[in-house]
Amino acid sequence: MSKTYKICLLPGDGIGPEVIAESVKVLDAIAEKSTFNLEYTTANAGGAAIDAHNDPMPQSTIDACKASNAVLLGAVGGPKWDELTGAMRPESGLLKIRKELDAFANLRPVAVPLSLAESSPLRQSAVVGVDLLTVRELTGGIYFGQPVGNDGNEAFNTMRYSVDEIERVARVAFEWARKRRNKVMSVDKANVLEVSRLWRDTVKTLHEAEYSDVELDHMYIDNATMQMVINPRQFDVILTGNIFGDILSDTSATLGGSLGLLPSASIGSGIGLFEPVHGSAPDIAGQGKANPIAMILSCAMMLDDFDEPAAATAIRKGLEAALEQPLRTADLCNEDYTLATTSEMGDLIRDEIVKQL
């Protein structure tokens, strides 16, 4: 009997519905050639949920997500809701669903094949062949630590991590390294911060006890940021805390030349949230200019999470084949290529993926 995976679609705002539509197109084509079935539920999130429910992440959406095997999110936010504050902002819905799903680890892969190296702001020789994964702790650290305060004269935030929080995200990094090139670079600021000293000691202890087969090195955040620009190919899996992961993953996002290329996943206790990095891009929404690649690659990460490696590999190989064709969406197009709409690029990618199955 074939497996059936239940997927909750959260198209959201801006270009979210457009890229979600292309991901479903691709997934349906894969399912037709595979041994599994896909069932979809669609729910509102972000600004769309505010308009429909006066809540950026209503309980009905949370329930739909929890009843699924995975969640695909398009994007949330836009100028229509910029005047809203606090828990009513579209982005707060994203934080809420991550918490509800206990998604404590954010995965941000970046790969730069030869066909995309010319789009990078760095020299091609520095970025061709880059294939790295940043594993960022997502629910702790200085963004969530207490106490927090601001009396108008002095403000403060608190960076806190427990051994348990560090161990669980480190395990994610080590497990992914075993699937890749077996190398983890743990990034901290242990020469200055007490919390980073605990981070480093905990990662070392876990490594010695459970993952001695994985190569482990350590690097300070300032050097890691520099190395990301000088020699990004040295990295396989980067493990780091919330704020440093924010910095490094955004730095790595520039390597391929467009945010439209970058997928991500937030995982934890079972139900993963898979989304592109690019945001809602309201300035191009509804114009067929959005690049669907990041959303489609997020689907590949979802299939990895489902332990469907053949399907995930087909997406990546099909995408590489599609990028060898003379078509590009607006964010990557120049005089050497023909401009493609979101749907046209989705069709090309789908057709190339099917050839891999």
Indicate which residues carry an active-site annotation: 143, 189, 222, 246, 250
- The separation between CA 301 and the C-alpha centre of its own chain, rounded to angstroms, equals 9
Tokens standing for residue 18: 């457009």
Q: Give 221-229's long-range contacts (Cβ < 8 A, gap of 24+).
A: 221/187, 221/188, 221/189, 221/247, 221/248, 222/189, 224/185, 224/187, 224/248, 225/251, 228/252, 228/255, 229/122
192's CB contacts (< 8 A; 6+ apart) are none
Helix/strand/coil percentages in the chain, nearest 5: 45, 20, 35
Q: What are phi and psi of 40, to 5 degrees?
A: -115, 145
Neighbours of 212 (CB within 10 A): 9
**CB distance 94 to 297 below 8 Å:** no
Selection from 229, 230, 234 nearest residue 247 by Cα? 229
- Where b means 16+ CB within 10 Å and e means fewer, 174-211 reads bebbeeeeebbbbbbbbeebebbebbbebbeebbeeeb
List the structure tokens of 351. 């057709």
CA angle centred on 249, ends 265 and 228, rounded to 5°: 140
What residue spans of 106-154 are helical by DSSP H? 114-117, 124-127
Of 298, 274, 357, 287, the C-alpha closest to 329 is 287
